[in-house]
Structure 1
Amino acid sequence: MPDHDIHFLKTLPERQREELLSTGRPSPEVVKKQLLKLKTILLEHEAAFIEALHSDLGKPAFESFSSEIAVLLNEIEYVCKHVAQWNRPVRSRHLKLGYVESLKRMRHPYGSVLIIGSWNYPVQLTLMPAIGAIAAGNRCVIKPSEHAPATAELLKEIINHAFPPEQLHVVTGDAQTASLLTSSPFDLIFFTGSGKTGKAVAEQAAKQLTPVILELGGKNPCIMDETGFSKAAIRDIVWGKFLNAGQTCIAPDTLFVHHSIYEKTLTEISACVSAFYGERPQASGDYGRICTHAHFQKMVDFIGQGIVREGGTHDRNDRYIAPTVVTDIKPGSPILEEEIFGPVLPVIPYTDLKSLLASGSLQRDALTGYIFSSNKEQIQLFKEHMLSPTISVNQVIQHAASPFIAFGGVGRSGYGAYHGKAGFLAFSYEKTDYRTYHYLRFQGKFPPYSDRNMKALKKLRRWLL
């Protein structure tokens, strides 16, 4: 990287802070104008985004619009509708003995925010956090993933043309560029990606005491009990698993099926895959591709760890992995321990939900947990077992599109949340204007202290402090 580029990146956070300081915190009206500019970009360049996403991930146009563009348009519209309300100060007064305290609490932007996006949804996962950051009044630097190069270059070209670098700027590059950025003096870092890289980002940020929001992944368990089987349920699971060729952080990772419905579940999954993608999914225009050759090889290795009941074929040159179902997996196999993040679905029978939960087979702190059931006791048992911030009953993935739901993880699936108001809160902190109005002044709080004042303090502490 040329020295002038390094200097530009290193000094960009400070320039963004200076610009924010000189212009002041943007009003809700200014924020809306910035967000509506983003909306215009998405609408005017829709075809270009769809083409770039197809180049990087083989995404069909419908999935590109629904899971990348439409959710961003909805988020912008929702935030624009509510941002003025979120920015209003919260005022309160409290009567104390000798004085009245007056509080005005308001949200304040962090300043210059770094957003590191992921390759699997390279438009949504870079611009969704940017919407929250802009809504809170911040300046932003976006680093898209180098593993989705066509989309990254398009974002850079369009956004850097529409916004000055002191307001919003896109930087492309590899892991070296990301390392340079995470060591720069940003006021907040938002990262979406793997747990391994997330740890590295958090460690680098900790050296400068920079706060971090981590959106990671996890093995999202999906349970179908004896009351949960239906063709509609299987359709939802198959769609959610193989959307974007399985490269979705909230996809059902592993399906646990009650033994009484196990075989008919496998039969219906195969029928559903054929209905969605035909007998040759590789020829289907509605099925995506694996992002990188390294990730492709990981999927091939996973397929070899069980008995293939559906799919299993693959083409390295095309980065194609068929929608695959595997069974009869040996305990301890990597596919049961690691996040799959691809179009390979283990289907595992169980006999008793309590025993399954007690076995340790489920990652309790996954990003989300799914259960298909009409049994309220079973649903409650699953909800109490899981630590995931979201438990979805009888559907998959749809909850992530809602601006009313905070999206984020816990434990190994990350920390911090965004979307809707949660995004506004994540990218701002509470700033308080505190004042007191005295009608009596007590000298006992000042030295020299006395036993008499100590007794008075213990008796009146609730009204004095």
Structure 2
Amino acid sequence: MPEEAFLQALPVRQREDLYSTGSPSLKTRKEQLLKLKTILLKHEEAFMEALHSDLGKPAFESFSSEIAVLLNEIDYVCRHLAKWMRPVRSRHLKMGYVETVNRNRHPHGSVLIIGSWNYPLQLSLMPAIGAIAAGNRCVIKPSEHAPATAGLLEEVMNAAFTPEQVTVVTGDARTASLLTSSRFDLIFFTGSGETGKLVAEQAAGQLTPVILELGGKNPCIIDEKGFSEAAIRDIVWGKFLNAGQTCIAPDTLFVHESIFEKTLNELSAVISAFYGDRPQTNGDYGRICTDAHFQKVLEFIRQGDVRHGGTHDRDDRFIAPTVVTDMDPGSPILEEEIFGPVLPVIPYTDLNTLLSSGMIQRDALTGYMFSKDKNGIQLFKDHMQSPTISVNQVIHHAASPHIAFGGKGRSGYGAYHGKTGFLAFSYEKTDYSAHHFIRFRGKFPPYSERNMKALKKLRKWLL
């Protein structure tokens, strides 16, 4: 079968199989989730090797930021799924009748999941957990820019699941385009804002709902009371995890002028303590995923004064953890998401002035602040439109199944993780019935002034 016909047939096959068998039972959904857990555990070493091949990820980061969070999500979902699936029933006394309302969550049908290259395992399978929990069938398209992980996913997933249940499709941007123009019931996309717009445009042609997980310039603020060695360690860890290729990494650091030089000195000290004087030879530090992205990140470095790092090796796709200052206003490094191991540090004098300056993207995926000032923290929270604000900590919120993960505006729309994921991948279906004990003819035409007066008096009984 030609590629185009095969890809377009996938959602049809999955949808027909779902309709013929009905919405999966709790037992079936949990069996599929536990099968996914078994895959992760059985092929743990192979996945870590693939992630190292694609991104130079150390085993610790591969397990903690990809495999462990998936295992935890599966455990959490399996523990609570019965409660989430339980119908919600209610009865209401109305004018002349009693209404009964049964609300149930139903799967959308066949769901397309397009993963990203920076966390190619987690961002392919985390949405699938929510989709399977909600009773859907899935087509997963991992990123072609992480070929080792994508190939392994295709091999182990397609061996464990039938194509009607879950199937992994590998390929390039053309494959992704063919999929997004097919008749799926829901599309979940993780990636850049520009590509997200294209996905949404293609999906609109089929009236397919879309969840977009994008990125943004996540601000991180340290006020005059927020400095500590522990704070700097957290920021350095969060920024340079996965060589900076994390959508919720602190993108730009704003530091009160009274602690500016002290912060720069501590940043250098912590980076050296983490990765040594020759980070290229350090096994705990990753690599840039593609040559094109390497060049883009390198251009950012050239837009400021390097205060730490700056070394690079194109052949190895290595860029050292880098701190830059003194960027010109309007420079791309101040306008675009960096998505790499380059941390711009900018001094500020007053929080109100900083927040009103337009330098902070209010609808970034997240925002960070290190402070002990409750008023300043509240001011920052009120200013930001991000769905999640983290105070005195970075990154950790994204690993919690208790917290919805998603964006707003330029950082995307829709959310998932935990119960939010179950809700995102299902829709509410209502069964409504009424038991009449009195039938009022006054609701039918011809209407009268008398009936209008009665209607106004009895209005509440209609709701």
**Residue deviations 1:371-393 (CA, integer Å, cap 9, x gap):** 00011011000000000010000
**Residue deviations 1:155-201 (CA, integer Å, cap 9, x gap):** 00000000000000000011100010001100000000000000000
The equivalent residue for 1:381 is: 379
> Which letter does structure 1 place at the counterpart of 2:189?
F
> Which letter does structure 1 place at the counterpart of 2:164?
E
Superposed displacement of residue 11, structure 1 = 1.0
> Which letter does structure 2 place at the counterpart of 1:378?
G
The equivalent residue for 1:447 is: 445
CA distance in 2, matches of 1:43, 1:159: 13
Superposed displacement of residue 21, structure 1 = 1.2
Superposed displacement of residue 444, structure 1 = 1.7
CA distance in 2, matches of 1:377, 1:258: 16
SS at match of 2:176: helix
Say yes or no: does 1:266 pair with 2:253: no
> Which letter does structure 1 place at the counterpart of 2:312?
H
Does 441-450 or 329-338 show the bigger shift? 441-450
Superposed displacement of residue 435, structure 1 = 0.4
CA distance in 2, matches of 1:130, 1:278: 38
Task: For 1:157-196, list aligned pairs within 5 A.
Answer: 157-196=155-194
Task: For 1:74-223, list aligned pairs within 5 A.
Answer: 74-223=72-221
Superposed displacement of residue 454, structure 1 = 2.2
TM-score, normalising length: structure 1: 0.99
- What is the percent sequence identity of the aligned residues? 80
Divergent runs of 4+, >3 A: none
The equivalent residue for 1:23 is: 21
Superposed displacement of residue 123, structure 1 = 0.3
CA distance in 1, matches of 2:323, 2:13: 52
Say yes or no: does 1:365 pair with 2:363: yes
Task: For 1:244-323, list aligned pairs within 5 A.
Answer: 244-323=242-321
**Residue deviations 1:51-94 (CA, integer Å, cap 9, x gap):** 10001000000000000000000000000000010000000000
The equivalent residue for 1:355 is: 353
CA distance in 2, matches of 1:365, 1:305: 24
Superposed displacement of residue 453, structure 1 = 2.1
CA distance in 1, matches of 2:165, 2:365: 32
Say yes or no: does 1:324 pair with 2:322: yes
CA distance in 1, matches of 2:6, 2:394: 43
Superposed displacement of residue 18, structure 1 = 1.1
TM-score, normalising length: structure 2: 0.99
SS at match of 2:442: helix
SS at match of 1:91: strand
CA distance in 1, matches of 2:381, 2:5: 50
- Structure 2: 5+ residue stretches without partners: none
> Which letter does structure 2 place at the counterpart of 1:359?
S
Superposed displacement of residue 455, structure 1 = 2.4
Say yes or no: does 1:418 pair with 2:416: yes
The equivalent residue for 1:438 is: 436
CA distance in 1, matches of 2:247, 2:193: 12
CA distance in 2, matches of 1:67, 1:365: 24
CA distance in 2, matches of 1:152, 1:443: 65
CA distance in 1, matches of 2:199, 2:280: 37
> Which letter does structure 2 place at the counterpart of 1:92?
S
SS at match of 1:223: strand
SS at match of 1:209: coil
**Residue deviations 1:415-444 (CA, integer Å, cap 9, x gap):** 000000000000001100100000000112
CA distance in 2, matches of 1:212, 1:450: 48
SS at match of 2:398: helix
The equivalent residue for 2:426 is: 428
> Which letter does structure 1 place at the counterpart of 2:239?
K
> Which letter does structure 2 place at the counterpart of 1:427?
F
CA distance in 2, matches of 1:140, 1:299: 34
CA distance in 2, matches of 1:266, 1:183: 48
SS at match of 2:458: helix
SS at match of 1:137: coil
> Which letter does structure 2 place at the counterpart of 1:377?
N
Superposed displacement of residue 258, structure 1 = 0.4
CA distance in 1, matches of 2:166, 2:6: 14
> Which letter does structure 2 place at the counterpart of 1:136?
A
Superposed displacement of residue 456, structure 1 = 2.0
Superposed displacement of residue 23, structure 1 = 1.3
Superposed displacement of residue 458, structure 1 = 2.2
> Which letter does structure 2 place at the counterpart of 1:221?
P
CA distance in 2, matches of 1:162, 1:249: 30
**Residue deviations 1:401-426 (CA, integer Å, cap 9, x gap):** 00000000001000000000000000
Task: For 1:33-48, list aligned pairs within 5 A.
Answer: 33-48=31-46
> Which letter does structure 2 place at the counterpart of 1:195?
G
* Matched residue count: 463
Superposed displacement of residue 25, structure 1 = 0.8
CA distance in 2, matches of 1:97, 1:379: 51
SS at match of 2:393: coil
CA distance in 1, matches of 2:3, 2:446: 60
Superposed displacement of residue 6, structure 1 = 2.1
CA distance in 2, matches of 1:200, 1:95: 49
Superposed displacement of residue 460, structure 1 = 1.5
